[in-house]
Amino acid sequence: MSDAKDSRERVARAARESYEKFGRWIKEAWAGDATDHLSEQKYVEALGYFESFQAKEGADYVPAVEFMKESLQRHIETDRVLDEKADSIVKYLGGGAAVVTAGTLFSLKTDTRSGMILGAVVLATLLPALICAVWAILAAVAVRKPRASAVLPDAPFAIQCAEHYPKDAIAINQWLILHPMCQAAMFRNLQKSRGVGEAHKRYILAMALLLLPVAAAAVTLACLAASAR
Per-domain residue ranges for the chain?
Answer: 2-228
- Do you know the residue count of the chain? 229
Mean local confidence (pLDDT), 73-84: 91
Q: How many CB atoms lie within 10 A of CB 1?
A: 5
Residue 63's pLDDT is what? Answer: 84
Q: How far is CA 16 from CA 29, 35, 44, 76, 90, in A?
A: 19, 24, 11, 22, 38
Confidence of residue 92 (pLDDT cuts 50, 70, 90): confident
Is the model more confident about 77 or about 157? 77
Rounded to two decimals, the pTM is 0.68
Residue 100's pLDDT is what? Answer: 75
Residue 2's pLDDT is what? Answer: 54
Mean local confidence (pLDDT), 29-51: 60
Lowest mean pLDDT among 49-53, 66-70, 121-125, 204-208: 49-53
Mean local confidence (pLDDT), 215-222: 83
Residue 81's pLDDT is what? Answer: 93
Mean local confidence (pLDDT), 153-164: 71
Residue 87's pLDDT is what? Answer: 92
pLDDT above 60: residue 37: no
pLDDT above 50: residue 1: no
What is the rounded average pLDDT for all residues in the chain?
Answer: 76
Q: Where are the alpha helices (DSSP H) in the chain?
A: 2-28, 34-52, 62-107, 113-143, 155-164, 170-175, 178-209, 211-228
Confidence of residue 200 (pLDDT cuts 50, 70, 90): very high
Q: Cα torsion for 177, 50, 156, 5, to the nearest 10°? A: -170
Mean local confidence (pLDDT), 131-146: 89
Is the model more confident about 139 or about 6? 139
Q: How many CB atoms lie within 10 A of CB 185?
A: 22
